[in-house]
Structure 1
Amino acid sequence: MSNNNPKEGIFKNKIVLVAMALDATTFESLSPSRFVSFTLPNPTCSHSLLRVAVLDSPLQSTHPPHVAAMLVPQGRETDWIFSTKFGHLQLLFTSPGISRLILIGNQLNESDFDSSPYIYHRPLKCSLHHQGFEVWSKPLLLALSPKSLFKNCIPEIPIMSYEDNLVSSVVIHQCASSHVGEMLVEDVEIETQSDMHHGCLRMEFRRRLRFKRMPNLIQTEVLIAPEIDPGSNTVRIGEAKFVPDLRVLVHPYLAPMVASLSLISEYIEQQIQNGFRPKALCLGVGGGALLTFLAIQLGFEVIGVDSDREVLKVAKNYFGLEDSEFIHVIVGDAIKYMKKLAYHRTLHSKSSSVDHCEHDGFDHLVNGEVTAHKFDVVMVDLDSTDVRNGISSPPLEFVRKRVVLAAKLVLSEFGILAINIISPSQSFYDKLVNHFQKVFHELYKIDVGNGENCILIASISPQVFSDRDCSNSFLLRLKSVIPETYINSIRKI
């Protein structure tokens, strides 16, 4: 064995595995953001191949470098999470400090897709694990490791496994738009924890929207119910037709966002008692679950604004979003639209000698768009997505003072602004809070509880809230349709 290069001496006979597809020297050094994939004969099955994908992190800061391998779950080899560079990059970023990530999984054959569409059911066990994978893969993993990893000794390459709550899935629609690129709609069966104290699991059917540019992120998620005969006892993904059930919000941050309404529940109750329907402006529509929930479950009149026509088409065809008397969907840039509303509202106020009632309905439309009236709540569900830096919400543009002022101008006297926050850094969050404190009277926060999101709530007027008001029918209704824990967790900043 050579003291200078133990890797060469140990694997001079093994490295042929890599050489069959590529020059072995390709992997001797790290190259930020380089992505290479190839196939190899499966050593445990002569009639099948393995797909190997190697990605070097765009952030090379560890010395010596850290290399890790991950097994692709059996049956999910074609999922964008495991078959694209975007998905691979997100997997790498979920394990901080990894310099090179190696994915190994089965290479599926055309015969594996005899059924159309392809239906995934989680196997009882992973075949790679149960055929000595950790033993026969070691030479390959070392051959795919950079030379700098061998300065002191032969390294151990950790093997990670990917686990989530997915039980079954089937893609029911796939399309693309000029804004977000390729996207898919899938019906899934997942395991959910129904009892936080005893950890009991139950099965639940959901419909999801995912983008190829960020395949590990669920963009939209709603409950679905099977259309089956009353006498049927079993339902499986791919064997029944499902329809959206929009009575419950399952996307993690939507229920906390709705919980913000408890701060102005007395005001909303008073407006309802006076015969006025509360009004909401939703910046960002996605699958439309929030719009539909506000209208159906809480009696709001809602305007939703989104720039992507194809996403809105998917929302209407697959997620139950419908234009109606109380749900209005507008195609356009959400921030520009809000600024436009603020501008029209300013002109409206200056030109009117008589102060209009703030709840006199949607004043009028120009080219199908509302131009002047105030909202009880503005809910912001916009993000800035970069596969390299992850997702942040809201977009940086929202931090600008002119945008914050526009949000204030479109709100009624006791209105609130509720924003989904995914902060890429503490400085981003601090800057956002600072901007809102300069414009709004009070700020509140709700922790979503998933380690990523929080809801920031800004109010124009001081809030006096009592969660024990049994005479407030709106508050009672709110508590009946979202978990009360979110209401109780509201904290003033």
Structure 2
Amino acid sequence: MELLPRSPGEFGTARYWDRFFRQRGQRAFEWYGTFPELCPLLRKYLRPRDKVLVVGCGNSELSEELYDVGMCEDIVNIDVSAAAVRRMRERSAGRRPGVSYLLMDVLQMDFPDAHFQVVLDKGTLDAILADEEEATLAKGDRMFAEISRVLQVGGRYLCVSLAQAHVLKKAVGYFSQEGWVVRVHQLAGSGDKQQFVLPVFVYVMTKFRKIPGSAAQILEICPEEQEKPMRVESAELLVAAVKDRQHYALLCSQLSKAPCREQLSLDLCDKESRRPRYTLHVIDSPSVKPSRENHFAIFIIPQGRETEWLFGTEEGRRQLATSAGFGRLVTVALHREQHYEGMAGIQAELSGKVMELAPPGLPARQQVPFLSVGGDIGVRTVRHCDTSPLSGEYVVEDVKGDGTCYFRRLVFLHNRNVVQSEARLLAPVPLPGQKKRRKDKKKPSSSEPPTAIDKSYLCCEHHKAMVAGLCLLGGPDPLPGRPVAVLVVGLGGGSLPLFIHDYFSQAHVAVVEIDPSMLEVATQWFGFSQGDRMQVHVSDGLDYVAKLAAEAPAKYDAIMFDVDSKDLTVGMSCPPPAFVEKPFLQKVKTILKPEGLFVLNLVCRDAQLKESVLATLREVFPLLYTRHIEGEVNEILFCQPSPQGRWGPTELGARAQALEGALRQPGRPWDSSYVLADMLQAVKIL
């Protein structure tokens, strides 16, 4: 303990290092890695005939080893510690004529200008920039200026560092402004794991003449697992990239020492594009007693299924880990912008990286199983991608579900883990009189999804609940044969208004959608169409309702809001806050018939905000039912302008069964998983 300084500032003083090396004696002190760890990287930037200056050499064996293996023939070492310099001279005297040791301060060197081809620094910059005080940072400037002075143009400053944020920022900022090429390497397998949890980096600063007026900067990072450096656009992004790697190292260190109390998430990025390629979640199951066979497993989520409850929520992943029976499970989601060479390719690509996330106590050379659903990585086909000024980037993709089912999805990339709209695809059926495919003809690929839309399918549980709620409409006979006017705010892929149009034969449906791009998507990719009973109005829902309230009150039997908010900073993602403000809700009530129904899909994670919304709804609508969607944040609110139509659970169940019986007509397709009465079993009156 006596070798540690009393304050970080002592790292930069000769007195501290004299005391340090006197107490340490003959034992070499190797900051940030031994020669075998540094050698592969240094070999790329050192030539035998280079004149090399090692600053802050201490009693490290680095210079001796560089000389002994023939990597460098002329090495000058300097240090502020007389004790260190004296001992190193004694150790190399008569044995290494090309290695010399001088008592000198790197902040004020006696060498002539442009005297060296390489300046090598192992930990000295970190020692000098021990804090962020103004006087300390000024020392860094003096050190850099001296290094720049003694280096030839084309020379290289190689700095081995832990890359604390202020140190890296200072070094990158200084040399990039001087017009030097800056490259940061992460050292592979570096450091004493007991001493340093953080990875070790090597800055390679190559001196070029500064061009007056030029603002061009060449900044690169080279992660440990790849040879090819990646270009970075700014010093801030370079510092952030290093910080990400440090965070990952800390995470791996924590995971190797103790069970993970909370689920941890991280992205692994593609080497070329630097976009996320895999998203990993680490889940520990305290209830599982580890044995040699069930310590650790990797679960590959099939493409397109990462949004499902089991894979896309903390609770679902926890259930998956427990049922899999492993002490630690790492789930791996595959990104839609990337290409994957099957399960074997993914396993080969991930094997080394995921082992860094292994739990404590994993037996040596343990074979870690890779698991999946059905043993494959699923099918995802991007059909269309575009950018809307209102909705941002979006994609339409076909994905394979369980068995032979395929689904078409609309996903807004600002919230890529949420499916905005989904339709089930139908396999093509031969037309009457059409010849069957000859056996010798080439069959379509099993990975090619069908294209026909199943209009009987409601993808979202909240859509099913919204339709079921129509049995709350007044009248003794709530069957779909009578005329009903419905306003739907929010189109998406159009499955909700399409279902109402097709299954309620006398329904006239008006849809309000603010984004014209969504109308094009719904029409082209989701089988949506307009007609006598289906009209779409491209307008802001707020403006459209306000206009109707001013012109034609009491127009609609049912009004449905299924519109998302683009502002992710608000604790309510559906609807936008303006849609649940009291003045606007009063306009909604104005255009709703006295016996009508207002249905709202509410997605609110802020408990206080949610209670405020419910209170406002109760002020405007005397009768309010709520249906929480199990396993989701969604809550469906059924609001009626009159308290006279209150129904009990038994009456609601009977009306729902009657409605379903009328909808399930012979010859008309019906999703057998959809039971209207089930949708209303958990309805509560607020």
TM-score in terms of structure 1 length: 0.64
In the alignment, the residues of structure 2 paired with residue 285 and residue 380 of structure 1 have an alpha-carbon distance, to the nearest angstrom, of: 10
AA matched with 1:239: E
Partner of 1:339: 546
How far did residue 400 of structure 1 move?
1.2
Alpha-carbon displacement from aligned partner over 1:71-121 (angstroms, at most 9, x marks no partner): 6599xx9997859xxxxxx9xx9779xxxxxx9999x99xx6xxxxxxx68
Alpha-carbon displacement from aligned partner over 1:258-315 (angstroms, at most 9, x marks no partner): 121122264563794xxx4111100111111101000002232110001101111011
Which of 391, 400, 410 matches 1:209? 410
Cα RMSD between the aligned structures?
5.1
5 Å-filtered alignment, 1:24-173, equals 40=223, 42=225, 68=264, 70=266, 123=343, 126-128=346-348, 131-135=351-355, 137=356, 167-173=378-384
In the alignment, the residues of structure 2 paired with residue 37 and residue 215 of structure 1 have an alpha-carbon distance, to the nearest angstrom, of: 29
Give yes or no for the alignment of 1:220 onto 2:421.
yes
SS state at 1:239 partner:
coil
Partner of 1:322: 529
In the alignment, the residues of structure 2 paired with residue 390 and residue 13 of structure 1 have an alpha-carbon distance, to the nearest angstrom, of: 49
In the alignment, the residues of structure 1 paired with residue 220 and residue 458 of structure 2 have an alpha-carbon distance, to the nearest angstrom, of: 39
Query: Structure 1 431/394 Cα, relative in aligned 2: closer, same or farther at 3 Å?
Result: same
5 Å-filtered alignment, 1:415-434, equals 415-434=596-615
How far did residue 342 of structure 1 move?
1.1
TM-score in terms of structure 2 length: 0.48
SS state at 2:457 partner:
coil
Contact 1:210–1:218, Cα closer than 8 Å, also in 2: yes
Contact 1:265–1:474, Cα closer than 8 Å, also in 2: no
Give yes or no for the alignment of 1:295 onto 2:504.
no
Alpha-carbon displacement from aligned partner over 1:3-59 (angstroms, at most 9, x marks no partner): 89x99469994897999963669x989xxxxxx99664747xx9999xx996989xx
Alpha-carbon displacement from aligned partner over 1:223-267 (angstroms, at most 9, x marks no partner): 111336696798757535412111110123211111211222645
Partner of 1:279: 485
AA matched with 1:215: R
In the alignment, the residues of structure 2 paired with residue 491 and residue 81 of structure 1 have an alpha-carbon distance, to the nearest angstrom, of: 43
Alpha-carbon displacement from aligned partner over 1:136-191 (angstroms, at most 9, x marks no partner): x47xx9xxxxxxxxxxxxxxxxx9x9989972110011111110121110011023
SS state at 2:626 partner:
strand
* Structure 2: gaps spanning 5 or more residues: 6-29, 43-161, 164-181, 188-196, 200-218, 231-237, 256-263, 280-306, 316-331, 359-367
Contact 2:398–2:449, Cα closer than 8 Å, also in 1: no
SS state at 2:511 partner:
strand
SS state at 1:123 partner:
helix
Contact 2:391–2:566, Cα closer than 8 Å, also in 1: no
In the alignment, the residues of structure 2 paired with residue 162 and residue 391 of structure 1 have an alpha-carbon distance, to the nearest angstrom, of: 36
Which of 510, 516, 537 matches 1:309? 516
AA matched with 2:343: P
Contact 1:265–1:472, Cα closer than 8 Å, also in 2: no
Partner of 1:438: 619
In the alignment, the residues of structure 1 paired with residue 223 and residue 662 of structure 2 have an alpha-carbon distance, to the nearest angstrom, of: 59
Identity %: 21
In the alignment, the residues of structure 2 paired with residue 418 and residue 12 of structure 1 have an alpha-carbon distance, to the nearest angstrom, of: 69
Contact 1:442–1:458, Cα closer than 8 Å, also in 2: yes
SS state at 2:184 partner:
coil
How far did residue 416 of structure 1 move?
1.0
**More strand by percentage:** 1
Give yes or no for the alignment of 1:401 onto 2:602.
no
Query: Structure 1 10/467 Cα, relative in aligned 2: closer, same or farther at 3 Å?
Result: farther
In the alignment, the residues of structure 2 paired with residue 416 and residue 308 of structure 1 have an alpha-carbon distance, to the nearest angstrom, of: 26
Partner of 2:662: 477
In the alignment, the residues of structure 2 paired with residue 104 and residue 24 of structure 1 have an alpha-carbon distance, to the nearest angstrom, of: 26
Partner of 1:116: none
Alpha-carbon displacement from aligned partner over 1:373-397 (angstroms, at most 9, x marks no partner): 5111111011213455676111110
Query: Structure 1 181/452 Cα, relative in aligned 2: closer, same or farther at 3 Å?
Result: same
SS state at 1:253 partner:
helix
Contact 1:81–1:215, Cα closer than 8 Å, also in 2: no
Query: Structure 1 12/406 Cα, relative in aligned 2: closer, same or farther at 3 Å?
Result: farther
Query: Structure 1 80/325 Cα, relative in aligned 2: closer, same or farther at 3 Å?
Result: farther
Contact 1:391–1:424, Cα closer than 8 Å, also in 2: yes
Higher RCO (C-alpha under 8 Å, 6+ residues apart): 1
Contact 1:306–1:333, Cα closer than 8 Å, also in 2: yes
Which protein shows a greater Rg? 2
In the alignment, the residues of structure 2 paired with residue 162 and residue 407 of structure 1 have an alpha-carbon distance, to the nearest angstrom, of: 51
